[in-house]
Structure 1
Amino acid sequence: MSPRNAEGRASKGPRSLLRCVVETLVILAIVVGVDVLLVFALYPYGSTSEVVWSEYFSAADQNIDTVVVGSSTAQRAIDPNVLDNTLGTSSFTLATPAQPLEDSYLAVSEAISGHGVKRVILGLDYETMSLGSWDKANITYVQTKAAYESLPKAIGDYAGLLTSSGFFTGSKFLQVLFPWTIAHEKGGVQSVENNLRMRLGGTTPIEAAKVREPGWTYVGKGYGNYNYLLDTSNAKAAMSTTSHAITDFTDQNMATLQKIIDLCNENDVQLVVVVTPRPAFNVLCYGDEYSQQMARIRDLVESAGGVFLDANLLKDDYYAPTAENFADGEHLNATGAEGFSAVLAEYLERLDAGEDVSGMSYSYEGWSDYLASIDYISAVTLNGSVEDGTATLTATPYAGPNVQVEYQFCLCDVDGNVTGVLRDWSSDATVTCAVPADGSLSVRVNARQVESGADFERYCMWSLS
């Protein structure tokens, strides 16, 4: 072999390696570029998370001493504007839909480091503690926050995602790299065009959110809400236990709550944990499990010096929400949030003044007293089965143990209009009837307290088609 050929072969290796490196970098650059373009085009602009973080970081030079965190139940229950009017504080809400406790911890950490807040209000409900983290909510929350903060903080937040449980074993890895796969426009080309038009046309996140959520109104300080009204006749669908099985609070959620407690204590921040209001039927549906599990949170919080308030156990003298205060089975509407926020502000004001506020609420140990305080019918549901051409229907009232209920069963047409009485008022919650030959049957049950004289207090429909 000639010296020239040997030299050529020797030099070919390094050049080939360099070429591979360059080609790989080019391919990666193309993939990243396409990913960025797809995120820009497909990732929905104007989510409530985006409103929260854009407003928060625009208030970087303003005083914020109180922050509200938690999922949508907190987001739509606590109006920081009402708190400030009473307490003279400067509050802001970083609560967002389906916010897992890991993201609540992230928000608390940001509020402490960025504004030195002195009070954290963590709003939660049963599902906050019993369900696992929803990857979509977790990823979109972190990515939206990262889009508005400094690069070092954004890197830190992404590092938190990279080290989160199950990151490399599931689809979360790809969802972080390609966020448009879990959150994207679903209305076709027209939706993508509208999304781009808002991004490029100077539309603010608040304006974009109002387009996406026509019933939503932004009030300020991160808070917005809806004016929807709860339909108690559809209580079964509105119950959290219809969508989620009744389970114990997870060890992971209890551990994350402990992290939030520790973070607040380490920074001399008062932690106020608030179980947000819901209609009585959506508490009663858990049975005794509700008090047993919630007591675990209370004990954890109070043993560390924090404040715990279950809004559902507040006595009627202080807080007695009606169905009209709720948007659905889990959320307050704008009117309901204004009323509850005023009650919460009074509670905190008394607490700040050194008053004993324990008398404002029932206790989990006195669960029977709470149940007895429900002296009305919160809702009634109607379940049915068919066997051998006969339908058997049973009504279930959601009321306190001392409430005597009677029922009237009526036949209805396809539009829900009453066509006849199947059985008049009686304390018997079960009725049977023959299924018509065409297989369609629609029954309405009216419920009221015995001897109330009302036409009905609650009703529910059951249909077979």
Structure 2
Amino acid sequence: MKKLAPYIRCMAFLCVLAGCIALCNFLFAPSGYIRYILHELNSPAENYDCIILGASHARSAIDPAKIDEKLGTNTLNVAIPGETIKDSYYVLKESCRTNDIKTVILDVDYQYWYSVQIEDEFSSSFIFNKMSWLSKTKYEYLIDNMNTLDFRNTFTDRLSYDISRTAIAQNVSLKLTDDYRNYSINGALVKDADGPYVGKGFFYRKTSGLEPGGFDYIKLWYGRENGELEGWVVNYFLQIANYCKNNAIELICITSPVTPTAVRKLGLSKVDKTFSEFFAKHDVPYYNFNRLSMNILPRDDVDYGDMEGHMGGELAEKYSAVLGTFLNDRKDGELDTGKYLYDSFDELYKNSYRNRHKKARE
């Protein structure tokens, strides 16, 4: 018995430690959107065959229900604010763990492809932390990133902790509800959606009908288009492409349209050239819907929640329907990109709402 005593004390210590971590997570970590959408992804009541990967722009721009109407699919938008290409790779693998995925729509947001994105041991695990310990994807992530993950962030949600009295009371109150226990969206604290949840990973973002704010913020991005694609991002994208190829999954890359002002000010015509050449090199279809005809999808800055380009719900519904029709034409072999997309950004600028009305005033 004496020989077993050290092992018993060790196991007791680990159990107490696990209990303390669980208690801290319960008290201090808010119930966010990631917990909800990952559970929805693995819902036994669903078998999704199409997923949308990306970050916050994709979440506010693409309503899966509109895609399903055109393609007859069962689509889930698993774009998560802050989701890097590395995150998308593991979310893809998590999706395939419980679903028979046939199509992946990857929304390419150039912010996540250039060197300004930080990937470190302290900030890279926010999605990984919300994966179930019963998921093999969680262990794959842990093993693949063992050399860079900070140990303290591996087993706790400490990066999201809020230890204020108000936050603790809110956490406890919410986590004791049936909505939380049943993984309802009402049991998730979502602060960044700026609009109601419609379903299947899509939020209907509200707009003011006025010029959106945030112009000073996008000024910080000036010149970014002159940089190079970040190496680790490219490597993870190639892993996504290879995974899809090896598992007979169709990968389609798109860029959803952002505010016309941002398109022009940020030199996205140059970004388009860079991406078009990159995806063509790796034989992956890519469509930049910033070049989408104004006749097909009329849009102006006021249709967005901010100058950065988070799409308002009304425009998003229209765009999603156009996207669904576009993809359906592609599936049927009847796609004429010239019917949808301008040949150049100059043509886009010439037909923009502001330019047309400027000429009318003259």
Q: Name the TM tier (shorter chain).
A: 0.7 to 0.9
The aligned residue for residue 141 of structure 2 is 160
What's the offset of the Cα at 1:367? 4.4
Give the secondary structure class of the aligned counterpart of 1:182.
Answer: helix
What's the offset of the Cα at 1:115? 1.7
State the TM-score, normalizing by the size of structure 1. 0.68
The aligned residue for residue 434 of structure 1 is none
**Relative CO higher for 1 or 2, CA cutoff 8 Å, sep ≥ 6?**
2
The aligned residue for residue 286 of structure 1 is 266
The aligned residue for residue 334 of structure 1 is 313
RMSD: 2.9
Residues 133 and 273 of structure 1: is their aligned pair in 2 closer, same or farther, counting only changes over 3 Å?
farther
**Equivalent position amino acid for 1:189 in 2:** R
From the two aligned structures, give the one with the greater strand fraction: 1
Q: CA deviation digits over 1:102-153, x for unaligned, max 9?
A: 1111122233342221110111211021123476764221222226xxx2x2
- 8 A contact 2:195–2:205 mirrored in 1: yes
Farther off after superposition, 92-101 or 102-111:
102-111
Do residues 262 (structure 1) and 239 (structure 2) align? no
Q: CA deviation digits over 1:233-267, x for unaligned, max 9?
A: 6452352x426861322011112111111111112
From the two aligned structures, give the one with the greater helix fraction: 2
Q: CA deviation digits over 1:286-343, x for unaligned, max 9?
A: 23xx333333333343444432111101122222222332111221121121111011
* Distance in structure 2 (CA, Å) of the matches to 1:117 and 1:93: 13
The aligned residue for residue 194 of structure 1 is 170
Alignment of 1:121-270 (within 5 A): 121-130=105-114, 131-133=117-119, 138-146=124-132, 151=134, 153-154=135-136, 156-164=137-145, 167=148, 172-179=150-157, 181-185=158-162, 188-204=164-180, 205-209=184-188, 212=191, 215-229=194-208, 232=211, 234-239=213-218, 241-242=219-220, 246=224, 247-270=227-250
Which residue of 282, 298, 322 maps to 1:320?
298
* Distance in structure 1 (CA, Å) of the matches to 2:316 and 2:83: 19
Which residue of 273, 283, 287 maps to 1:295?
273
Alignment of 1:302-451 (within 5 A): 302-328=280-306, 329-359=308-338, 360-363=340-343, 366-374=344-352, 376=354, 449=358
Structure with larger Rg: 1
Farther off after superposition, 88-97 or 366-375:
366-375
Which residue of 18, 32, 51 maps to 1:32?
18
What's the offset of the Cα at 1:30? 2.6
Ranges in structure 1 where 5+ consecutive residues have no aligned partner: 1-13, 378-402, 404-447, 454-465
- 8 A contact 2:256–2:289 mirrored in 1: yes
- 8 A contact 2:222–2:265 mirrored in 1: no
**Equivalent position amino acid for 2:287 in 1:** L
The aligned residue for residue 254 of structure 2 is 274
What's the offset of the Cα at 1:190? 2.6
* Distance in structure 1 (CA, Å) of the matches to 2:45 and 2:279: 32
**Equivalent position amino acid for 1:143 in 2:** N
- How many residue pairs align between the two structures? 353
Residues 296 and 135 of structure 1: is their aligned pair in 2 closer, same or farther, counting only changes over 3 Å?
farther
* Distance in structure 2 (CA, Å) of the matches to 1:212 and 1:278: 21
